[in-house]
Amino acid sequence: MGKKGCSKIQNSKLNTYDWLCDVPDAANATDYVEVQFKNTRKGYYLNSSRIPLEKGDIVAVEASPGHDIGTVTLTGKLVLLQMKKNNTRTEGVEIKRIYRKAKPVDLEKYEEAKAKEHTTMIRSRQIAADLNLNMKIGDVKYQGDGNKAIFYYIADERVDFRQLIKVLAEAFRVRIEMKQIGARQEAGRIGGIGPCGRELCCSSWMTNFVSVATSAARYQDISMNPQKLAGQCAKLKCCINYEVDTYVEAQKRLPSREIPLETQDNTYYHFKTEIFKRELTYSTDKSVPANLVTISAKRAFEVITMNRKGTKPLSLEADTKPAVTNRRDAQDILGQDSLTRFDNVKKKKKKKSGSGQNKQQENRGSHNNSHNNNPAARVKVGHPQGQSTNTAPENNQKPIQRNNNRPNKKKPRKQGDRPQQPRQNQDKPTNE
C-alpha cells in the first residue's frame, strides 16, 4: 500500500491510522467514507457510485445547499468502527452522498472561497462588537461552492444573535450558520504543542471532551498551581484524567490519611504519600513538617492495629530492620561522576623562560671551564693512544674565554672619538 492507503504520514488533525489496510477485501467492506474538512470537522458520506477512493483524495460531497469540498481520510472496514465510536446513526437518517472527485473548476471555487475566510472573520468580529454582543468569533469556514459560511463562536452565556445573522447576511451575501464551540474545541481547531513536547491531544486524537475537576489533581498529589494545571485553552488539562483511576485504585490499599499514629513519645500526623512505592511520611505537627518519619504501608497498618488495641509502640520504625541485600551498583571506573575530582589537583608552576635560559648558559660555561682546567679530561676526548695530548693553540695564542653571564655593556662614546670599525680576519681560537 502507498502513503495514502495506510496513512503512515500524519499530515492532518485527528488523523486515523488505517491498521486494516493490508487485510484483503478490507477496503471494499463498506461504502461509507470518512471525509475531513477544515481543521477538525469530519463527516461520514456514502459512496453510492462506487468511486475508487484512497486517503488523500479530494472529493465533492453533498451539502445543503450546493456541495462542499473535503479530503478523504479513511476508507474500508475501519470506517464502521469510527462511526460506532462517534455515535453516528445510519438507521432512519438520510446519509449524504459523495458526488465525484474534485475537478479543477471545483478547486478554483474552493480556493477563492477559502481566501475570503480570514477577512470575513475580522469583519464579523467588528460587527459583533458594534452590536455589543458578549461573544468571540473564533473561526469562519466557507462551503466549497462559496454559497454558505459557518461561523464558530465562543460565549459564556446565552447570546441572541438574530440581529447579527441579518447584518452578516447583508454584508457577505451568503447563507449564515452559527455554531457554538467550547474553549477546548477552539484549542483543538487552532492546534499547538503541549508542555509534554507532543501535539495537543484535542487536535490529534481526542474528540470527546470530559469535564476535569481539581479533585483529580489532589488524588495524584499534583501541586495545585494554576499555571501548571491549565492548558492552552485556559482550562484544566485533559491529561489529568488519564491516570486518576489508577491512583484511586492504588490509594484504596493504603491507610487513611486522617488517622494519626500514636507512639509512646509523640503523635504523628500524615504529611505525604508515595502511592506507587507504598510509603507514607508522618510529621509530629499537622501543618509544619517536623520530625519526619517515612514508613511502609505495612508498618502503618501494624501501628494502627496496635493503637486500636490500646498499645503504643516505642517508635514508628519497625523493631527489626530488614536485611540489606548486597547489591552491586554500577562502578565509575573513570571517576567522571565525582563532583570533587578537581578540588585536590595541584597546579604545576610554570618556569619562566628567562631564568631557564640563564641556568642553561651557566651550566654550559661551568662545563667548558672544568674541561679546560682538567688535563685528564682532555686526554679522554677522542685522542688515540700514542699521540700527543698537547692542546695548546698555534702561534702561542691563548683561547678566548667568553662569560655568557656578564652583560654586554657598551662604553659611551666621547666627543671627537671615531666610531670603531668592525674587525675583520679576527683570529679564531682553535678547536679543542
- pLDDT tens, position by position, for the chain (432 residues)? 444 445 444 556 777 778 887 787 777 788 899 999 887 788 999 998 889 888 889 999 999 888 999 999 888 888 988 888 888 888 878 889 999 999 999 999 999 999 999 999 999 999 999 999 999 998 999 999 889 999 999 998 888 888 999 999 999 999 999 999 988 888 888 888 998 999 899 888 887 888 899 999 988 888 888 888 999 888 999 999 999 999 999 988 899 889 999 998 889 999 988 888 889 999 998 888 888 999 999 999 999 999 999 988 888 887 545 555 555 555 666 556 666 766 776 655 555 555 555 555 555 555 555 545 554 444 444 444 444 444 444 445 555 555 555 555 555 555 555 555 555 544 545 444
Q: What H or E segment, with its residue span, contains residue 29?
A: none
Residue 40 pLDDT: 78
- Burial label, 336 (beta-carbon count in 10 A; 0-12, 13-18, 19+): exposed
- Angle of the 162-172 helix axis to the 117-130 helix axis, nearest 10: 140
| Contact call for residues 154 and 180 (beta carbons, < 8 A) | yes
User: Smallest Cα–Cα separation from 63: which of 104, 102, 97, 106?
Assistant: 97
Please give the angle made by the CA atoms of 219, 225 and 226, to the nearest 5 degrees: 105
User: Smallest Cα–Cα separation from 97: which of 57, 146, 41, 51?
Assistant: 51
| Contact call for residues 217 and 228 (beta carbons, < 8 A) | no
The gap from C-alpha 410 to its chain's centroid, in whole angstroms, comes to 74
Prior bond to 65 cis, omega within 30? yes
Residue 142 pLDDT: 93
User: Smallest Cα–Cα separation from 99: which of 53, 41, 154, 40?
Assistant: 53
Q: Is 350 helix (H, G, I), strand (E, B) or coil?
A: coil
User: Smallest Cα–Cα separation from 220: which of 274, 267, 264, 159?
Assistant: 274
d(CA 36, CA 13): 9
| Contact call for residues 168 and 123 (beta carbons, < 8 A) | no
Which residue in this structure is represented by grid cell 484511586?
Answer: 248
Read off the C-alpha cell for 351.
618556569
d(CA 383, CA 386): 9
* Sign, Cα dihedral of 374, 378, 381, 385: negative
Residue 153 pLDDT: 93
**DSSP bridge pairs for 141:** 150
d(CA 33, CA 36): 10
